[in-house]
Amino acid sequence: MRKAFILLLCLFVWGVYFNGLQNNFVLDDEALITRNPLMKSNSPLGIIFKSSIYDSPKTYRPLQVLSYILDYKLWGLNAFGFHL
């Protein structure tokens, strides 16, 4: 019963988000991903933990930036990979 519930839950979540896989980057994705110099640089990872996403110190999210960098290394600027 428990495995059936987990499978049903996974199928439901997949069904809800499946449509978004084919979409392009939108809104703040331009600043966070496509125009972010950290994505394409070979800077040491320590710089991620010393900077913010935008120029504002209120947007300190180093794990988010690290995730974007890993996605960029895997998928390039293919939005499908980031959405997946």
Instruction: Note the pLDDT tens digit of each residue in 28-73.
Output: 888 888 888 878 777 777 788 887 776 666 778 888 888 888 999 9
pLDDT at 24 over 70: yes
How many Cβ atoms are within 10 Å of 53's Cβ, its own excluded?
19
- The answer for residues whose C-beta is within 8 angstroms of residue 61's C-beta and 6 or more apart is 52, 53
Rounded Cα distance, 6 and 78, in Å: 30
- Range list of H helices, 1-84: 2-17, 29, 37-40, 62-75, 79-83
Residue 8: pLDDT band by 50, 70, 90 thresholds?
A: very high
Decide if 69 contacts 63 (C-beta within 8 A). no
pLDDT at 57: 65
